[in-house]
Chain A
Amino acid sequence: MATLEKNRLVLRVAYAGAPLAGKTESIKMLLRLLRGKDGDRHVFSPGEARGRTIFFDWADYEAGTFHGNPIRCQITSVPGQAVLSARREALVKAADAVILVIDSRPEGLEEARRSYAEMSPWLAEADRELLVRVVLQCNKQDLEGSLPPEVLRSKLGLTPDRPSYGTSATTGKGLRPAFIAAVREALNRAQTLTDRGLIRFGRPEIDSGQELLERLQRDVVATEAPDEPQRAAPTVQGTPEPPRAPPVVVAPPVVVAPPVVVAPPVVVAAPVVVAPPVVVAPPVVVAPPVAPPRSLHANGVGPSPSTERSAAKAPRPAVMPASAWRAKLVEETHKAIASVVRLVDASVRAVIPPPSPPATIPPGPSASAVAPAPPPPALATRASRPAIMPVSAYRAANAGTLRAYEPPRIAVLTTAGIRSGEGASPVVQFRGAPVTPEKLTLDVIAASAAGATGERVSPPASRLKARPAVMPALAFRAEFGGGVPARVVAIPATDSTASAEPTGDAAPRLPAHGLPDEQVCPVAIWRPLEPQMSSGARAAADPRGGWHGEPVSGWYAHTIESDVGLGAARRLYDAAVSRHSVLHRYLSKDRCLALTHDVGRWWVWQIVRKVPTLSTRFHDWPRPGDSPEAAAESLFDCATSYWAALKAIRQAPEALPVAFEKVAPQDGTFVYAGLLPRVVAPPTSSQESDADFEDVLRRKLAVRPPPALHVPAVLEALRRQAAGRLPDPVLEMICSVLIGH
C-alpha cells in the first residue's frame, strides 16, 4: 500500500501473470533500461529454481515526482506456478498497481485468461473501494504469430479504457511505457488515499526484498505444504518449458533461515498526534465516564484537528496538498464528534436523573447570573480568506478581527436533557476562556485540553455564540483552529420530536439575506451572492423530493435535509459540509451550503451555480450547414469529452452520477456540476456509461434528425478522426446509432 515516508512516496508495482509469460525477464530488462547495463544486478530473486520464480523478484527504483516529492517504486513479480497461488495472492494484494504480463501468442491466451480470472477477486478484495488497477502488458510481441494488444485485451474481456501495451522483454521495447502506466495508476490510487486520509505514513511496511521474503515465509509459506515449491516446478499447466537453465541439478528452493525477529507491521497513526486527554466533568451527567482518548483511537477516530495543527510534532506532510489536508481534518473531526456524541448520548440516556438540582454539584454561579455575553463582532469586518492565501498569512493579516473568533480552549459536548436554568446549573470543566450555556441545552460533558486542572465551574459568558452564526464548527476549526490547544465542539440538544417535512403551502423560503440564524459555507461564495437574493421567495416542491428554487438568477437551490431541532439540523449541515469537503476536487467551484430556519423547521440547502455542461456543448449538434467533417469533429469532441469526464469523476471517493447534463469543464478537467444526490449512488459500470452515451445520442437524433447530413461521409470522417483515440466499441456504437438514423 502506498506510504508517505518523510518526503517520499513509496509505491508497489507488481508484475503478475501466467507462468512463463516473462515477468522476471520484464523486470530484469526494465531495470537495465532504468539503471543501465548492469541494472538487473539490483534485482533480488530469492529461491529461484531452474529459472523459475519461487517467491518473487524485487527491485527498487527511485525517480519521478509526486507533488514535488520523489517517488520510490518497489517493483515485484509474483511466482507464476499454479500451486503457489497463496504467495501470488499476498503479493498482488499488497500492490498499488498490477502489470498483468501475458504471452501474446494465441497459445498463451488460455493461460492469460486463467491468470486474470484468478487475480480479479484478489484485486477487488484488496480494497473494495480503491480497486488496484491493472495494466495489460502483452509480452513476446517480437515472436511470430503474436496478437496485437487490442485484440488480446478484447479477448480477455477487459474494457477499452484499460491500458494495454505490446512489449518484448528480450529487446525491452514497450517496457517503459507499460511500467509508467502502472506508476500512473498507483499515483492515482495514492492521491485518492491521500484525499480520503487513508494513506499510510512513516516507514513502509515492507522496505526491502529480504523483509518481504521474511514476511512471506512467516505468513504464507508456513501455511503451505512443505514440498509445494518442489512439486510446483515440473507441473506447469502442461506448458512446454523452454530450456532456461542447464538441466543439471534441480536446486530446491533456497530455504531461508526462519526470520530471527520479524518486526511487527509499523502501525502509524494517521497524522502522528497525541490527542489531549478527554476529561469528563464528574458531577453532572455521566455515570460511566467518557472513555479516555484511547477509545477515540481505538475507534479509528484520531485526534482533534486543531490539536494536530497546534502540535509541533504533526505538521502537514510536505507531500500532501493543503486542500487534501484540510479536507482530511474536517472529515476526521466530524468522525470524532459523531463518535463522542454517540458515546455521551448513550451514557446520558442510561443514567440521566430527573431534572432536579443534584446535590453533588458544587456551588457555582448559575447561568442566569452570568453577565451577558459581549456582542459578536460584525461579520462584515472579516474578509474571507482567498483560496490561494496560506492560513498563516491570512491569520497574520487579520489578527485583529480573528482574535475575536478564537474559540475557547475547551471542548463542550451537549446532549438532550437538562436545560439551562431548569433546576441544574450546567457545570463544565474547563481551562482557559469561558464558555456560555446561553441558548445551549446542556448536559455538559466537558473535555479539556491536556493539563486540565479538574476545576469545576459554571460556564460564564462566552464568545462561543459568535461562531455558529459565522460558519459551521467544522469549517471554522479547519480554517481557524490552528494554534488553539483544544477543540471546540458545541452541539445543541437534539429535539427528538422531529416531524415530517411540511407540504403544500408550508414551503420554506429560499436561502436569502435576513433569514434567522443562517450558516453558510463557504462564505467566500455566499457573501457576493447574498445581497442579490430576495428574501421573500418561496421554494417549490420537487417531485423527486425536497424543495427547490432559484434564489438568484443562474443559481439553483435545493434542500438536502431538514429537521425541527436545531441540533440535529446542525449535525446534518456539518455532515453536508464534510461531504462537500471530501468531494471538492470533483465538484464545480461555484456552490455553497446554507442552513436556514423557516416554517418551523431548519433547512440545509445546497446552492449551485448553473454552468454550461456537456449537454450545452452538444445541444446544437448537428447544425444544418455543417460539413461531414465538422459534424464528425463535433461528435468526436463530445464523445472524448464525455469519456474524459467519466474518467475524471470516477476517481471521486463517492460515486457521482456522470451524465451529460451534470458534467462541466473546469480548469482543464471535468467536474460534477449538478446537485449532489441525497444518497450515495452505486458506482456505474463502463457498460452503463456506454449505454448512457448511446441513449443521449439516440434521443438527440430522435428529437433532431440530422438535416441533410450525409451519414456515410460523417461516419468515414469520424472513423478517420477517432482512430486510436476513442475506444473501438464506443466508435462502433456511435456508428451504429448514426447508421440507424
Chain B
Amino acid sequence: MDADALALAAFLGIPGARLAGVVDMCTGLYLALEVGSCDPEEADGLAVSVRELFDGERAAGLRRSYASADETQGVQEVLVLGEKATFMFARVRGADDTALAVACGRDVNLGIILTKTRELVRVG
C-alpha cells in the first residue's frame, strides 16, 4: 500500500477520523495527508510531533527505556488523549522511515482506533 492509499484507508476506515497522514521520519513532513475539509497547514505541527516522538532527540530517553537488548524499538504505537481529540501514532511495519498519524474525535472508542490502526500499519 502506498502512502496515499494508506492515508486514505485510515481516514475512511477509522471511525471518527478527522485527519490521517503518513509522516516521513527524516523530514517531519507528510508523505500523504487526508484532512477532509480542514486546512492542511494546521496539521503540519502534528507531523513534526510524530517525527520527534518516534525519531527525534527529545524523546530519545523514552525510546531507550523501551528498547530491547538487541536495540529493537519498543515504542511502536502511541495513543494520546487530548482534551478535544484523540491521536494515534503508529510506525508502519516494513517502512521504518514512515509513521501513520490519525486524529479522531474525543469520544471515539479507543479499542476500535487501536485495532484499525494496527490492521492498516501491518499491511502498509
- The listed residue with most B CB atoms (<10 A of its CB), out of A35, A177, A183, is A177
Indicate if A187 sits at the interface (CB-CB under 8 A). yes
A176 at the A/B interface (Cβ < 8 Å)? yes
**Which of A34, A65, A179, A668 touches B28 (beta carbons < 8 Å)?**
A65
Are the CB atoms of B32 and A67 closer together than 8 Å? Answer: no
Residues from chain A with a CB closer than 8 A to the CB of B29 are: 63-64, 176, 179-180, 183
Residues of A within 8 A of B41 (CB): 34-36, 63
Q: How far is the CA of A547 from the CA of B32 in the complex (A)?
A: 56
A-B contacts, 29 of them at CB < 8 A, read A33-B33, A35-B39, A36-B40, A63-B28, A63-B29, A63-B44, A64-B27, A64-B29, A64-B44, A64-B47, A65-B27, A65-B48, A65-B51, A65-B56, A66-B27, A67-B57, A68-B57, A68-B58, A70-B48, A71-B27, A176-B29, A176-B31, A176-B33, A180-B24, A180-B27, A180-B29, A183-B27, A184-B24, A184-B26
Q: Which residue of B lies closest to A321 (CB)?
A: B57
Within 8 A of B (CB), among A601-641: none
Cα(A68)–Cα(B31), bound, Å: 19
A35 contacts across to B, CB distance below 8 A = 39-41
Closest Cβ of chain B to A479, distance in Å, is 21
- What is the distance, in angstroms, from B81's C-beta to the closest C-beta of chain A? 24
Alpha-carbon distance A668/B44, docked complex (angstroms) = 28
How far apart are the CA atoms of A180 and B48 in the complex, in Å? 14
Chain B interface extent, by class: 20 to 34
Main secondary structure on B side of the interface with A? mixed
A173 at the interface (CB under 8 A from B): yes
Measured between alpha carbons, how far is A187 from B97 in the docked complex, in Å? Answer: 15
Give Cα A179–Cα B24 distance, bound, in whole angstroms: 11
Whether the Cβ atoms of B4 and A668 lie closer than 8 Å is no
- In the complex, besides A63-B28, A183-B27, A187-B27, 9 extra interface pairs with C-beta distance below 8 angstroms are A33-B33, A35-B41, A64-B48, A65-B51, A66-B27, A66-B28, A68-B57, A176-B32, A184-B26
Q: Within residues 172 to 197 of chain A, which ones have a CB less than 8 A from any CB in chain B? A: 173, 176-177, 179-180, 183-184, 187
Chain B 14-33 interface 0/1 with A at a Cβ cutoff of 8 Å (1 = within): 00000000001011111111
B9 CB to nearest A CB, Å:
16
Q: Which residues of A contact B58 (CB under 8 A)?
A: 68
Contacts of B28 on A, CB cut-off 8 Å? 63-66, 71
In the complex, how many angstroms separate the beta carbon of B64 from the nearest chain A beta carbon? 11
List residues of A whose CB falls within 8 A of some B CB: 33-36, 63-68, 70-71, 173, 176-177, 179-180, 183-184, 187, 668
User: Does chain A have a CB within 8 A of B83?
Assistant: no
Residues of B near A70 (CB, < 8 A) are 48
Q: Could you tell me which B residues sit within 8 Å of A by CB distance? A: 3-4, 24, 26-33, 39-41, 44, 47-48, 51-52, 56-58, 71
- How far does the Cβ of A150 sit from chain B's closest Cβ, in whole Å? 15
Q: Which residue of B lies closest to A70 (CB)?
A: B48
Question: Chain A contacts of B47 at CB under 8 A?
Answer: 63-64
Which chain A residues border B3 with CB–CB below 8 Å? 176-177
Q: Give Cα A66–Cα B55 distance, bound, in whole angstroms.
A: 11
* A168, chain B: closest CB distance, angstroms: 12
Closest to A177 in B: B31
Roughly how many angstroms separate A71 CA and B26 CA in the complex, as a whole number?
12
A184 CA / B48 CA spacing, docked (Å): 15
Asked whether B32 lies within 8 Å of A65 as measured between CB atoms, the reply is no
- Complex: A173 Cα to B27 Cα, angstroms: 20
* Shortest distance from the beta carbon of B36 to any chain A beta carbon, whole Å: 12
Q: Is the CB of B4 within 8 A of A34?
A: no
Could you say which residues of chain A place their CB within 8 Å of the CB of B24? 180, 184
Residues of B within 8 Å of A187, CB to CB, are 26-27
- Is A184 a contact partner of B40 (Cβ separation < 8 A)? no
Residues of B within 8 A of A183 (CB): 27, 29
Q: Which residues of B contact A64 (CB under 8 A)?
A: 27-29, 44, 47-48, 51
Beta-carbon nearest neighbor of A33 in chain B: B40
Q: Verify A176–B30 contact, CB threshold 8 A.
A: yes
Query: Distance (Å) between the CB of B54 and the closest chain A CB?
Result: 12
User: Hey, which chain B residues are within 8 Å of A184, CB to CB?
Assistant: 24, 26-27
CB of A498, distance to nearest CB on chain B (Å): 46
A36 — which chain B residues lie within 8 A by C-beta?
39-41
Contacts known (A65-B48, A67-B57, A68-B52); A180 close to B40, Cβ less than 8 A: no
A residues near B27, Cβ cutoff 8 Å? 64-66, 71, 180, 183-184, 187
Pairwise interchain contact B52-A34, C-beta atoms closer than 8 A: no
For A65, what are the chain B residues with a Cβ–Cβ distance below 8 Å? 27-28, 48, 51-52, 56
Give the distance to chain A from B32, nearest Cβ to Cβ, in Å.
6
How near does chain A come to B46, taking the closest CB pair, in angstroms? 10
CB distance from A41 to the nearest CB of B (A): 13
With a 10 A CB-CB cut-off, give which of A36, A70, A173 has the most chain B CB atoms: A36
CA distance A35 to B29 in the complex (A): 13
Cα distance, A176 to B41, chains bound together (Å): 14
Chain A residue numbers with a CB within 8 Å of B51 are: 64-65
Give Cα distance in the complex from A179 to B30, angstroms: 10
